[in-house]
Chain A
Amino acid sequence: MKTSLKFLIFATLSFSLFSSCNPAPENNANDKLLRIVTSFKVPTLVPNESATYFLIEYGVAETPLFLDDAANLKPFLLESYTLIDEKNWKLVVRENLFFHNGKPLTAEKFAAAMNFQLQKSPATKSILPNASVKKTGERELVLTTENPNPNVPAALSDESGFPIFDVECIESTNGDADNIIQNGCYTGAYKLKSLDDREMILEKSLNYWQGSPPLDEIVVKFVPDAQTRILAVQSGEADIALYPPSEAKRILANQTNAFFNTSENSGGGPRLFFNTKRAPFNDVSLRRAVGFGINYQSLATEVFDGVFQTADGFYPPIFKFAVQNQKTDIAEAKRLLAEAGWTINQNGIRTKNGATLSAVLLTYPQQPDWVTLATAIQANLQTIGFDIKIRQVEDINAALKMDDWDFGIISPGILTSGGAPDSALQEYLTTNGEKNYGGATDSELDNLVETLSRTFDAEKRNAQLQRIQQIVIAEKAFEVRPVFTRSRVVVGKRFQNYKPSPRLHHITFDTKPSE
């Protein structure tokens, strides 16, 4: 027994030593290879299910139009689009388009893909209910909507709405992922080679309409732990780590093997909105005081170390209709509170008729940045005399439906992925809005949002949107935008110049290694 135990010990230790000495992958990996690590798996390849935007983000599928990183809506698989009348749009399909299986993407197939989505995808049905598409010429289609809808162009660039695919190809696969991969049903610069729950491999499409993509192969590994993803870049096993925590910027500040990059622009940010149905925020002065009492610059540049952009209004400044009407003004915040009868006590907290100026701020742990944000806002508002209590909840949407909160931080966008503001305004800020958790109510705002939904003229829409922002932020202060978020990545030397997209288009035709 003595001999065999000693042998076992020796064998195990030797095995450990030798097998650990696996050389790390070469840093100067193949120039045509891109290795990404991300937290999110690709759950489905079926276009009418909820998460096909993953395919668009990795350059596998494409939409008729494309909202670029500077918020410009551009033709993509469509060559052009024109308004015929309030319910009909003429769409012209680009020439020389092919699916990954080599079959041409004709106007007929284009219409079939759009109608498939309009009939079978819950997301698409919500964006354009009861719409339909007909082929009217060799490359021409007409899209007809149920009601006048100025947001059709935005809908045509919506990632969840209109990925274009070969309907026959998809239907022949019965939703089986392997069959979808083999049959090549999409149109993007990169086509699927394999997918399992550990990784997705893409290869360049040989018949892509913009030319030959610069990368031969893209390997996307699904790594749930954020620290592990960063270490994978540091060790040379990956070129790009998606979704790093914001504190990684500080950690990587002096590193030479990994770099923290953010997008130039912001596509939006969290919403801090008030429960106007009960005290204290049924008083507009107090809501406005909160708006003036938050130090937006400090949040973006100090608390989040420049990872985020200073919020100066309801919409990020890249949108043409954005108004810069949100600013820090501590003196004005104090004046508003004093005018409303709230006086400072010896603890620095304001009181009125024996009541303390306190409020419950909701946040949720699934978004760790918002917990940090809530803490910073708590500190900001303490300086003007608020006693803020932070409450973390498991399900923020469920908690907001209750009435035991005063203000809350949530993530939902203020724009669709195609850049349309109408539906978010209607849902969250109109009196009868489905998600108007805070009870915001203003007849002028209701009318403006209703008018906006029927207005096609861009200039008139901009004017309406500017007035809406004036009401929401400056006059009625239904919401505050604490920060504008930026997309962020950790990159290795080969992709040191890679800039993440604010729309999370991780891979485009232009993605290539740094010079």
Chain B
Amino acid sequence: MNNRFRLTKSDSKIFLRLILTRIGQAFLSVFGVSILVWALLPLAEGDTAERVLKARGVENPTTLEIQTVRDEFGLEKPLVVQYFNWLKRAAHGDFSVSYQSKRQVLTEISERLPATILLAFAAFLLSLVFSILGAMVSATFYGKFPDRVIQFLTQASSAVPSFLLGLLILQFVVVGYGFGNVVSDVSFSDAVLPAFCLAILIFGSWTQILRANLLEALNSRYALVAKARGASNQRILWRYALPNALLPFLTVVGIGIGSLLGGAAIIETVFSWNGIGSYAVQAVAARDLPVVQGFVIFATLIYILSNLTVDIIALWLDPRLRIVTKLEKFI
């Protein structure tokens, strides 16, 4: 292993402190989110029992039906009691049952998670390839025609709304040319179009950031020294600039993975992809609040975990960050 990746005793302590601090912060964040998310239930406009029945397709419930639901969900207990009961259950992974399906929310989310992971994985791979390729070409031909084309594409990808891109792909690629399916089964082949769509949406920001990092690396002193020692432009780009540019890029990628796993809600809905994102959209539309609560907590955890993981990897890969953390300790 390269020496710079080896951890000293002091580094290990910093690592441990960082992880514990972050875990503590994560608990606080989840607790804060839990209050906000739980408050959706009592603060939402209207009668909860009527909302439950509406989510189950009963537009015009009778008094008896409403009372039956009140008893079922314990809606007549005080709010504080309702919150702590909910928190206790949520800590054990019990987010109650979906108003619509009457099944455990955690079960429903778990069943859809593999589909979201598959889509996120495919989209992540495509995004990574597109953005690295785009940034490398752009940096190599800085200021020239290929750079301008890629700059235009990145700006366009950031500007196009996801649902529009999805519908255009379905209309012209699937309906127009018969490639792929409108209603997706959760399979690798059906993942390609939604993954491509997601990748295009991420491509813009990732490419811009990596391109900026690459240009900074190419203008650095070590690149100048390498050039003076006779290294070709390609060698400088691949051997020196890219590894250094990838470190800050890692943080952006980590956040991107969080958003992909948290559910690419619109794309999943447009492509009928049976993941947790489309499930959350349906739950919001039906005001199925236990599902919305479960989804928000799940997405929060994913974001926190992915950020924590990225921080740790960055600290491990980049010794300069460990020095900064040591200095912070003395300030």
Contact = CB atoms under 8 A, between A and B. Distances in A.
A16 B125 CA distance: 11
A43 B46 contact: no
Contact of B64 (A122, A234, A394, A412): A122
Contacts, number: 147
A399 interface: yes
Contacts of B180: 20, 22, 24
A122 B100 contact: no
A397 B64 contact: no
Nearest to B52: A50
B56 A197 contact: no
Given A23-B178, A231-B171, A231-B174, A12 B126 contact: yes
A21 interface: yes
Interface in B241-295: 269-272, 274, 278, 281-282, 285
Contact of A8 (B44, B100, B129, B274): B129
Contacts of B111: 197
B193 interface: yes
A50 B53 contact: yes
Contact of A225 (B171, B192, B272): B272
A351 B151 CA distance: 58
B142 interface: no
A413 interface: yes
Interface in B172-220: 173-175, 178-183, 188-190, 192-193, 196
- Interface magnitude class on chain B: 35 or more
Contacts of B167: 227, 231
Nearest to A46: B102
Interface in B41-83: 44-47, 50-51, 53, 56-65, 68
Contact of A43 (B56, B59, B60, B61): B56
B304 interface: no
Given A9-B133, A50-B53, A50-B65, A225 B269 contact: yes
A471 to B, nearest CB: 22
A197 B101 contact: yes
A394 B192 contact: no
A221 interface: yes
A4 to B, nearest CB: 11
B106 to A, nearest CB: 15
A237 B179 CA distance: 12
A237 B170 CA distance: 12
A231 B47 contact: no
A510 B302 CA distance: 50
A413 B170 contact: no
11 contacts: A19-B188, A19-B192, A20-B189, A20-B193, A24-B178, A43-B56, A43-B101, A122-B62, A122-B68, A224-B281, A237-B182
Interface of A: 1-2, 5, 8-9, 12-13, 15-16, 19-25, 37, 40-41, 43-44, 49-51, 53-54, 122-123, 125-126, 160, 197-198, 221, 223-225, 227-228, 231-232, 234-235, 237-238, 257, 366, 393-395, 397-399, 411-413, 434
Given A12-B129, A228-B271, A395-B51, 11 more contacts: A20-B180, A22-B189, A24-B179, A49-B56, A126-B62, A221-B272, A224-B278, A228-B269, A235-B174, A238-B183, A398-B45
